Structure 1
Amino acid sequence: MRSPLLRTLVADVRAGKPDAEEAFWRYAAVTGTPLVEPDPEGDPDHRLVTFVRREDPAHPATHVLALVHTVTDKDRHAGDLAPHLMQRVDGTGVWAISHRLRADHRASYQFHATDGTREDALRADRASWLRVLDHAEPDPLNDRAPLPSRDGRNPASVLELPEAPPQSRIRRRDDVDRGRTLGTEVDGRSVTVHLPPGHRPDGGPYALAVLLDGEMWGPVLGVGDILDNLHADGDLPPTVAVLVDTMGRRMQDLACSAPFVDWLADTLLPWAEREYGAGADAARTVVAGQSAGGLTAAFAAFRRPDRFGLALSQSGSFWWPDDERGSEWLTGQYAWAERRPVTLHLEVGLQEWMLLQENRRLRNVLRARGYDVRYREFNGGHDYACWRGGLADGLAALLGEG
């Protein structure tokens, strides 16, 4: 047991100290969880992070998994969830597990408690994992705003260590002017539009941000608040955002699909120009996406630079397609084709073991070919807890200059 706080609890319980466990929980409630302590190895760039869960006497658990986004996923992909089983502290209702993490780590996390066998708790096949995600719960003692979810799943708690990059624009603020959010359809596809404060149809031309996976960014994550904050802070010119629903068609639309990108360029953008005065200037039009959406954002700039002069890719799936055609197809296209007049902003998490090297290789190719490319790595994973701050920073970097 590496945590000094837990070792003190164990010692107090063994010594019969009255109220030892209640004192521990009072401390956790005041400080918030997870518990963050100095690195036991003395490295100032790391912390010991201990996740704790209080046993529910009405529903006692036999096993509890701590699901730390991407950290746990890596072992799940390897078929071994055992390192993520929490331990019950003897003589208490405290479940705990500690991780040594770099001091700039950010991640969403949840707990999954079961009352079955250890074998059942550790099943790592896809069907079992999806059931875990369907029932996992947030940490009730975490005092940060939870990360919302969709499809009936519970929200997640968020771990932010002291040196994690600030995310000052993600919270709804009462002191900013509000834009308007509208739901509509374009050519049979659902889209959400967020208009900047004071928007007038004849007041353009406006900059345009096309966000893929709109059903996540709109009703779940409330990206309108991020955009309103950017406008209020002067970090973004008046910008119309069009959020395109793609989560039900990811494999068709977000795998370097020429028909989809052409639909964006030839149907969606002319519509946005007619209705809202945005999207006429490729140099002020950004397409943004995450994961397969990040791949598609970079592909859109490659295929249709006449409409998309800016691309924001977060954790882009640049390994694609990884079949008989080979892998990293889009990187090869950027390497050998005529250079496009586009600017790309790429970011990827240091914990994304399946994407980090692929994103670095694309960055290297873009730089070698003379592209204007902005690149950063954050200490996190494939996680909206990281992406929402990165989206704000990327939009400001691409559209906010000049």
Structure 2
Amino acid sequence: MRGWLLALLLWLALAAPAHARDEGHFISHEVPSAFVPQATVTVWLPPGYARETRRRYPVVYMHDGQNLFFKERSGYNKIWAADRSALRLIADRKTRPFIIVGVDHPGKERYQRYFPVKVAEPLLRAGIESSAGPLKGDAYLRFLADELKPLMDRIYRTRPQARHTAVAGSSMGGLISLYALTERPDVFGKAAAVSTHFALIGPDDLAKAPGLGETIKGAWRVYLYNQLRAPRGRKLWMDHGTATLDAHYAPYQQVIDAEAKRLGWRQGRDFESRVYQGAEHDENAWAARLDEIFGWLLSDWK
């Protein structure tokens, strides 16, 4: 009975007048978890999903779900407009149709949820937790990989393999996206780490502690050496702007790029690292380059 009801609700959500242009459909879920508080998840299904009942679709999992699709839900009246980017790329045949799963952030605990716990050495981690609270990146990753993705694979016609599963986010969301690629390559085969906060802490805190920046760079070198490994078919997009918070990112990004190359990742094929002159640290900037991000990362979904 429960399965029949779910199927009926899904059909009703996808039903549209015959004359209406199909621009995809949104469905919202409240997803319980053993690892994080119940999460609000917004799913965008691409055009044709309801008609092509045998077709299966790759999936992009994105963080900060409030800021992906609807301005009225966003914290800053700015959005990625991720569905609009997907529509353009699909229409231009730059990638095959794909599903987007947007996971809401938890509000004031966003920093802790998206923190890549294993990157920080014990002393640095202890200092961060003493001020910010317990770091929860590992718990969130378990939710994504072991609870949410299996649920989405049951409800929707997905292509469940890692090569057909991407994860994307910005700032702290960029951190947890890279972390997903390194910690769970069995689940996530592609990642977009946009305007990634590789510094781990804020520029004011870094300025108060001379030498801390070098410690953080060293922590990244150790972590990537142990965890990133060879690409083996994975793809990684990274970028940053040069204004506002992004102005502080270049020295850290250079470390990440160098380590990726040392481990056999080839720029332009396995990973990309781009700088957007004048771009700020906000959703408008990320929306402006999302076609480029998706276009490169998802180019083999054809």
- For normalisation by structure 2, the TM-score amounts to 0.69
Equivalent residue for 1:327, pick from 206, 211, 216: 216
Aligned to 1:385: 284
Question: Residue 359 of structure 1 aligns to a residue in which SS?
Answer: helix
Aligned to 2:93: 234
Aligned to 1:169: none
Amino acid of the structure 2 residue aligned with 1:344: L
1:192 touches 1:244 (CA, 8 Å); kept in 2? yes
Aligned to 1:185: 30
Equivalent residue for 1:215, pick from 50, 66, 83: 66
* 1:318–1:358 Cα change, 3 Å: same
Equivalent residue for 1:369, pick from 263, 273, 277: 263
Amino acid of the structure 2 residue aligned with 1:229: R
Equivalent residue for 2:46, pick from 189, 196, 208: 196
Aligned to 2:169: 289
More helix by share: 2
Question: Residue 206 of structure 1 aligns to a residue in which SS?
Answer: coil
Residue 247 of structure 1 and its aligned partner are, at CA, apart by 4.9
Residue 353 of structure 1 and its aligned partner are, at CA, apart by 2.4
Q: How does 1:82-161 map to 2 (within 5 A)?
A: none
- In structure 1, distance between residues paired with 2:287 and 2:106: 17
Amino acid of the structure 1 residue aligned with 2:240: V
* 1:250–1:280 Cα change, 3 Å: same
Aligned to 1:243: 102
1:176 touches 1:229 (CA, 8 Å); kept in 2? no
* 1:330–1:278 Cα change, 3 Å: farther
- In structure 1, distance between residues paired with 2:148 and 2:25: 19
2:230 equivalent to 1:339: yes
- Give me the CA root mean square deviation: 2.3
Amino acid of the structure 1 residue aligned with 2:168: A
How many pairs were matched up? 228
- In structure 2, distance between residues paired with 1:247 and 1:233: 35
Where relative contact order (Cα < 8 A, 6+ residues apart) is larger, the structure is 2
Residue 283 of structure 1 and its aligned partner are, at CA, apart by 0.7
Residue 176 of structure 1 and its aligned partner are, at CA, apart by 6.6
> Which is greater in Rg?
1
- In structure 2, distance between residues paired with 1:343 and 1:400: 10
- In structure 2, distance between residues paired with 1:330 and 1:250: 21
1:181 touches 1:224 (CA, 8 Å); kept in 2? no
* 1:283–1:398 Cα change, 3 Å: same
Question: Residue 66 of structure 2 aligns to a residue in which SS?
Answer: helix
Aligned to 2:145: 265
Question: Residue 311 of structure 1 aligns to a residue in which SS?
Answer: strand
2:67 touches 2:283 (CA, 8 Å); kept in 1? no
Question: Residue 89 of structure 2 aligns to a residue in which SS?
Answer: helix
Amino acid of the structure 1 residue aligned with 2:236: L
1:299 touches 1:330 (CA, 8 Å); kept in 2? no
- In structure 1, distance between residues paired with 2:159 and 2:151: 9
- In structure 2, distance between residues paired with 1:250 and 1:346: 21
2:231 touches 2:264 (CA, 8 Å); kept in 1? no
* 1:363–1:247 Cα change, 3 Å: farther
Structure 1 stretch 187-196 or stretch 221-230: which is displaced more? 221-230
Structure 1 gap segments, 5+ residues each: 1-174
2:192 touches 2:293 (CA, 8 Å); kept in 1? yes
* 1:209–1:354 Cα change, 3 Å: same
* 1:302–1:281 Cα change, 3 Å: same
Aligned to 1:254: 114
Residue 184 of structure 1 and its aligned partner are, at CA, apart by 1.5
- In structure 1, distance between residues paired with 2:54 and 2:41: 22
Structure 2 gap segments, 5+ residues each: 1-19, 33-37, 72-78, 117-136
* 1:298–1:176 Cα change, 3 Å: farther
Residue 330 of structure 1 and its aligned partner are, at CA, apart by 4.0
Q: List structure 1 runs of 4+ shifted beyond 6 angstroms.
A: 322-325
Question: Residue 353 of structure 1 aligns to a residue in which SS?
Answer: helix
Residue 210 of structure 1 and its aligned partner are, at CA, apart by 0.6
Structure 1 stretch 317-326 or stretch 236-245: which is displaced more? 317-326
The share of aligned pairs that are identical, in percent, is: 26
Amino acid of the structure 2 residue aligned with 1:293: G
- In structure 2, distance between residues paired with 1:391 and 1:176: 23
More strand by share: 1
Residue 215 of structure 1 and its aligned partner are, at CA, apart by 0.4
* 1:332–1:279 Cα change, 3 Å: farther
Residue 242 of structure 1 and its aligned partner are, at CA, apart by 0.2
Amino acid of the structure 2 residue aligned with 1:178: E
